[in-house]
Structure 1
């Protein structure tokens, strides 16, 4: 079995970040500490892989980003926030979208060998590869994923906001609900939203899958749902794009929103504010997610800190007309 950077760190009595800084020749490392690390490398006959060599040489000045899909305003906002900060820090950004790609494991590993650190969205990278990258000491930041040992995680709050949304809908008198969203993976953002609304609504809400988080998929799923008997009185959507599709389906079927059907979304993209009726949603700081991820990854790459951090950003329930609410005109 190959020797890992963790074993080198244990033998030298230092952190993996210190081992990484020593091998890269970047960042402050005391002479005695450097000597201990190099001695451990020699004793263990530690031979870095292609990825390890790239990390040790520290020659990239580039960050890698792994997204499941680059289409849609949510990913765009996160990417814009990331790129703005990365640019300030003098780092270029290499992007990998895995949508429709085969051999994702190999593609992500190849990207990891060409950059100094990776930001990975959710569960896009295979778990076995994630474990391998963590063992090697690769600087990693995950966005929209549950806490993971050995890497930073950054996400927006989901569960409490979903509960607040569900309670608001109950106050309007709705009794039959559907949760419209892509197949739910345990631990991801959509799963937390589903668990939140279900904890309040119980058996009054059913989960209805969509193929993707898009307007078209939301439209198709909502159209089928609303044409069936016993249609819901309110649809809670996994994101705003799915909700916009549901609004289109309701309009096509002649259902008045919110008089005959309430629709809610998540994210608060620009189109949500200008939909007719305007969309009730949960506002999350999409661009801030990207910006914070870029700064966190830079801290790990430069060795500014060794300990992984797990941050949850605040979200906000935004009430608009699509659920029967009649707010005053928004200031922005």
Structure 2
């Protein structure tokens, strides 16, 4: 019988599985080079494939195991550096795994849940952002039908979740500003917008060690929103000596608009961010921030989804990638332009106590 199969040009994944005495899913994992199979099983599958002269051509393999050979990625938008970095990491790794990527942008869609469900029929699995309002509902609705992975969201039974560390990093960043003598700090960004931002605000509060903290400034995370907030500061509506921004896009736009209005950073007010986008190291003063591995998150998401599609069980809990505090000049440190990431025990390199900003200063400086 083996010889008959060997002469058969129509050998399929089914015949390989039958000859090897394993499941079709095991054959798929071996052929795709993913994990989840023992060395013994791998050798049996490879031996059967060789005996049958089986070559898993893309179209044939997709039909045999009902695969589209495509990963779905659902993002709110592509504006701003975070989403583009995440997409680059995800698409690069998916391509290395021989998978295409189908992208869905949620902003502006009338029925995101419906569009995501339609996307699920065209891909083998989905990755979604925890900040999307439909993520939990869609993930539970697809559970058991299509693998779903969530980035920067809450873990759910049977649905894998990954993210970057937020709470401790925000606590260290805030404590660093307090170490500079800043006493009127504001958190800029809406914690209700996403689980990871909520964790950053909790870290901000924790750094005050029981001292009263003001409510967060609940604004979106776009450049224009940061500029509008800075205008409020310049107009005297907001008083603070440091702004802890939920992302670098807010921090950079706030810092730029304040400087244009005559407010000195960090002498009058400190401004810090989150993400460590490329521009953070080139502005003057350099932006103190927290570096999170956005591109690595994208790569890991593609890896984990591919494993799930191949039959691996979902990991329990939330897998966390580390972040790093990066000290530059906007917090008050006398940092060089090419400042390196600080450790958790980093101390301010010079104590600079800012005064609360009430209105535009008559002085103007350039960074």
Please give the TM-score of this superposition, normalised by the length of structure 2.
0.72
Check whether the contact 2:328–2:339 (CA below 8 A) recurs between aligned residues: no
Whether 1:129 and 2:135 are equivalent positions in the alignment is: no
Instruction: Specify which of 170, 173, 176 is matched with residue 178 of structure 2.
Output: 170
Q: Which residue of 1 aligns with 2:217?
A: 208
Q: Which residue of 1 aligns with 2:112?
A: 104
Report the Cα offset of residue 101 of structure 1. 1.1
Report the Cα offset of residue 22 of structure 1. 6.4
Residue aligned with 2:103, SS: strand
Whether 1:290 and 2:293 are equivalent positions in the alignment is: no
Check whether the contact 1:25–1:57 (CA below 8 A) recurs between aligned residues: no
Which structure has more helix as a fraction of its residues? 1
Q: Which residue of 2 aligns with 1:14?
A: none
Query: In structure 2, do the counterparts of structure 1 residues 115 and 25 end up closer, same or farther at CA, with 3 Å as the change threshold?
Result: farther
Check whether the contact 1:24–1:57 (CA below 8 A) recurs between aligned residues: no
Report the Cα offset of residue 263 of structure 1. 0.1
Residue aligned with 1:213, SS: coil
Counterpart CA distance in 2 for 1:231 and 1:331 is 29
Q: Which residue of 2 aligns with 1:269?
A: 277
Report the Cα offset of residue 184 of structure 1. 2.3
Counterpart CA distance in 1 for 2:216 and 2:170 is 14
Residue aligned with 2:231, SS: helix
Residue aligned with 2:258, SS: helix
Check whether the contact 1:24–1:56 (CA below 8 A) recurs between aligned residues: no
Query: In structure 2, do the counterparts of structure 1 residues 64 and 302 end up closer, same or farther at CA, with 3 Å as the change threshold?
Result: same
Check whether the contact 1:220–1:245 (CA below 8 A) recurs between aligned residues: no
Q: In angstroms, what is the RMSD of aligned CA positions?
A: 2.5
Q: Structure 1 stretches of 5 or more lacking a match?
A: 1-20, 30-53
Residue aligned with 1:146, SS: coil
Q: How does 1:1-332 map to 2 (within 5 A)?
A: 26-27=28-29, 58-124=66-132, 125-134=134-143, 136-181=144-189, 183-185=190-192, 188-201=195-208, 202-210=211-219, 212-228=220-236, 231-303=239-311, 305-309=312-316, 310-330=318-338
Check whether the contact 2:282–2:337 (CA below 8 A) recurs between aligned residues: no
Check whether the contact 1:67–1:95 (CA below 8 A) recurs between aligned residues: yes
Report the Cα offset of residue 174 of structure 1. 0.6
Residue aligned with 1:120, SS: strand
Structure 1 stretch displaced more, 153-162 or 308-317: 308-317
| Count of residues in correspondence between the two structures | 285
Counterpart CA distance in 2 for 1:27 and 1:158 is 34
Counterpart CA distance in 2 for 1:59 and 1:75 is 27
Q: Structure 2 stretches of 5 or more lacking a match?
A: 1-22, 31-35, 37-61, 341-367
| TM superposition outliers: structure 1 runs of 4+ over 3 Å | 21-29, 54-57
Please give the TM-score of this superposition, normalised by the length of structure 1.
0.80
Residue aligned with 2:204, SS: helix
